[in-house]
Every structure is written in C-alpha cells, then in structure tokens.
Amino acid sequence: MPSRFSTSTSRLALVSVVVGLVVLALKFWAWDLTGSVALWSDALESLVNVATAVAAFVAIRYSALPADANHPFGHGKAEYFSVVLEGVLIIIASISILSSAWAGFLHPRNLEQPVLGLAVNLAASAINGAWATVLVTVGRRRRSLALAADGVHLFTDVATSVGVFIGLVLALATGWLVLDPLLAALVAVNILWQGWRLIRVSIGGLMDEAVSGETLELIRDIISENAKGAIEAHDVRTRHAGRMTFIEFHLVVPGSMPVSVSHDICDRIEKALRAEVSDASITIHVEPEEKAKYTGVVVV
Ligand code: ZN
Ligand code: ZN
C-alpha cells in the first residue's frame, strides 16, 4: 500500500537530482567566469545538495522495501545514513569555503566578467526557486513532510544565492572587494547551521527518540476512544524509523474476557491508530486486571 506513494516520491527525488546537477553546473560556470569566492561557496552548497539528493533517492528506494527475514522491523532507518553522509559533506564544504574566504580576505581580487557570471548565477537561482515551489506545493498536497521540507530547504538556498548576488552587485558598485570573501564566510556558517539541524534529527531517529508530545497525546486519545471493553492501557512507548512509527503498549482487560474478544479490541485500536498515524507498526500486549497500574495510564 505505501508503494504507489513511494514510487512517485522517488521519481520526484530523481528529478531533484537532475535539477540539482543543472543548477550545480551553472553555479560552477558562474564561479569560473568571475573567480568570486562567494560564488564558489554558492556552488559548493549546490554540490552538497546534489550529493544529498542522490543519497535521499537511494535511501527512499531502500527504506521503502518491505520488512524481510534479515530486517524484520523494516528498512526505515536507511534514511538516516544519507543524513550522516550529508553531515560529513557539509563539514568538508564549510571548511573549504572558510579557508578560501580567509585567503580572499587577505588578498582581495577583482571579479572577472562579473555581468555574465552574475547572470548565469541568477538563472541557476531561478531554476532552484521554481523547483522549490513545485516541491512545497506537491508536498503539501500529498501531506509529505519530507517533500515539503526539501522544498523549504531549497528556498533557503535560493535566499542565500540572492543574498550573495546582491552583495556582489554592491561590491562591484562600491569597489569594496572584501565583501566577496565576507559573503562566502556567511554562506559557510549557514551551511554548517543547516547541517547541524539535519544531523540532530537523524541522531534522534537513531537513538529511538519518542514521537512529539502532540502526536503522543493524539495516540493516547485514540487508544482511549477505541478500547471500549478494556480497563486501561499503560507503558505506551513510541519511536520512529524513517517514515515508520512504532507504537507499543499494554492493554489491561478483565481476566475472564475471551481471547477473541480482547483481540477484537486490539484490532479496533490498531485500525483507528493506522487511520491517524501514517506507516504505523503497532504491538499490543494484553494483560488481566491484576496487572493494572492506575498511574500513568490511558483510561478507557
Ligand atoms: Zn503491563
Ligand atoms: Zn492479531
């Protein structure tokens, strides 16, 4: 059932790679034309994006594979590897931008062919901006956080590029050449900041971080509303693996209740949870009433 969604998602990821390559080529050309450190930093940022898009494409394909004997909990965590790779690339890119910014700061140079170079860079930003709009629109329509987040990320790149563009125009107008390496250093800091945020999310996933407070509240409400016949639920535990959400808890029922009746209650809760939490994997442990806890429980 998730396959149709993931095929079209992976097709979008593939288009992202192609768009990224075109933008990357334009940005390196703009740098080659001008020799600007700021444009070079902009191009390296695109290089990170392309590498990320490739890794995301592979990870989406792999993590969509159904669970198998070797990976009984599914392949959801594959997505975190792409983020780790991205983190490494981001650090390398930032260090190399900072070192050339420093060199440019010590020996400011004039830009060669600034008009053509800046025009090429602007064209690259326009393509990026258009693709970001597509990703955000499709992401919202499909309620895919990942797609929308990709689009928002691209928009921040466009903002960086526009900032660099305006700064270079100012540098040309005022003759204040130091603006070029200064802008490059700012881009480097921005890349580091974005990398840190991505890495933080994937560390959360690798460490089996619980779902957000709101989602947990929603899960508890759904259990409570759909468990008629049971007494309470306790020990609710949640974690993420990529797009999968794992939910497990104990369900206390009267000890005399037939197994088939308590199983019906479990099926009802599972169905209601799946309707609200996408890609949920649910495990329920049924217990008789002497196991009731009365504290930290979901009252039915
Ligand atoms: Zn228990
Ligand atoms: Zn069952």
Q: Lowest mean pLDDT: which of 24-33, 279-288, 289-298? A: 289-298
pLDDT digits (tens, 9 = 90+) for 54-102: 777 777 778 778 888 888 888 878 777 777 777 777 788 888 888 888 8
Asked if 194 and 154 touch (Cβ cutoff 8 Å), the reply is no
pLDDT digits (tens, 9 = 90+) for 89-139: 778 888 888 888 888 888 777 778 888 988 999 999 999 999 989 988 887
**Contacts (Cβ under 8 Å, ≥6 apart) of 248:** 235, 236, 237, 238, 282, 283, 284, 285
Smallest-distance ligand from the CA of 269: 2
Q: Domain 4-206, CATH 1.20.1510.10 — does that match?
A: yes
Q: Read off the pLDDT of each residue in 234-263 and give the average, rounded to a whole number.
A: 92
Smallest-distance ligand from the CA of 267: 2
Banded pLDDT at 3 (limits 50, 70, 90): very low
Q: Does the pLDDT of residue 27 top 60, yes or no?
A: yes
Q: What is the pLDDT of residue 179?
A: 85
Smallest-distance ligand from the CA of 235: 1
Question: What's the 71 CA to ligand 1 centre distance in angstroms?
Answer: 27
Question: What's the 243 CA to ligand 2 centre distance in angstroms?
Answer: 23
Bigger pLDDT: 55 or 174? 174
Banded pLDDT at 28 (limits 50, 70, 90): very high
The upper half-sphere exposure of residue 235, i.e. CA atoms within 13 Å in the direction of its Cβ, equals: 13
Q: What is the pLDDT of residue 144?
A: 66
Q: Does the pLDDT of residue 145 top 70, yes or no?
A: no
CATH class entry, domain 213-298 = alpha beta
- Can you give the residue ranges of every domain in the chain? 4-206, 213-298
- Supply the mean pLDDT for the chain: 85
Instruction: Dump the DSSP string for the chain.
Output: --HHHHHHHHHHHHHHHHHHHHHHHHHHHHHHHH--HHHHHHHHHHHHHHHHHHHHHHHHHHHTSPP-SS-TT-STTHHHHHHHHHHHHHHHHHHHHHHHHHHHHHS--PPSSHHHHHHHHHHHHHHHHHHHHHHHHHHHHTT-HHHHHHHHHHHHHHHHHHHHHHHHHHHHHH--TTHHHHHHHHHHHHHHHHHHHHHHHHHHHHTTPPPPHHHHHHHHHHHHHH-BTB-EEEEEEEEEETTEEEEEEEEEE-TTS-HHHHHHHHHHHHHHHHHHSTTEEEEEEEEEGGG---SS-EE-
Q: What is the pLDDT of residue 1?
A: 35
pTM: 0.63
